[in-house]
Amino acid sequence: MQKMIAAGLVAAALAGAAGAQPQIDVRTTAQVLRQLRIDGKPRVTLVPADRVVAGDPVVYTLAVRNVGAAPAAAVVVTTPIPPRMRYLAGSAAGPGARASFSVDGGRTYDAPAKLTVLGRDGKPRAADAADYTNIRWLLQDQLQAGSVAFVRFRAVLR
């Protein structure tokens, strides 16, 4: 069984067809990339994130399902980077989804190149992936009733 992340960590916002209110359910699983030997051959596989040690790459998959009867447009899904985890640059992905990031706990989002944080010297500096606190995906296509879209990101235990 894959480790499920608390449902309260993920939020979805959406717009539906006139007169119908879409219903979006988001489920998050966490899996660890492991090197295994299968039939004597080395393989990289995903296993449930029941035990994670520092440096383990964890793959977080968000299944975004339209459980309503109407198509959903402009679905926005947000999730924090889990505590004690560091986002791996360039790993946020999803077919037809555009990712943006936050460095302020989810109050604002932007493209990585536009994010800044205060450095140790108190002056603004370009944010790097370790500074990210949240990820937001915009699904660019309608999510049809009964359909599911997947978005993913990777992080490592600090």
Any residues with CB less than 8 A from the CB of 135 and at least 6 apart, and which? Answer: 78, 79, 81, 87, 92, 99, 100, 101, 102, 153
Any residues with CB less than 8 A from the CB of 39 and at least 6 apart, and which? Answer: none
**Collapsing DSSP states into helix, strand and coil, what is residue 129?**
helix
Check whether 33 has a pLDDT greater than 90: no
* Whole-number pLDDT of residue 6: 35
Q: What is the CATH number of domain 3-157?
A: 2.60.40
- Maximum pairwise Cα distance, the chain: 58
On the CB side of 29, CA atoms within 13 Å amount to 12
What percentage of the chain has pLDDT greater than the value 70? 86
Check whether 32 has a pLDDT greater than 70: yes
Region 46-64: mean pLDDT is 92
Record the pTM: 0.84
* Whole-number pLDDT of residue 100: 98
- Contacts for 111-118: CB closer than 8 Å, 24+ residues apart: none
Pairwise pLDDT comparison (40 vs 20), residue with the higher score: 40
DSSP string, 143-157: B-TT-EEEEEEEEEE
Say if residues 150 and 64 touch (Cβ distance below 8 Å): yes
Check whether 152 has a pLDDT greater than 50: yes
Check whether 27 has a pLDDT greater than 90: yes
* Whole-number pLDDT of residue 1: 33
CA neighbor of 62 nearest in space, from 16, 22, 144, 2: 2
Region 131-143: mean pLDDT is 96
Mean pLDDT of the chain: 88
Check whether 104 has a pLDDT greater than 90: yes
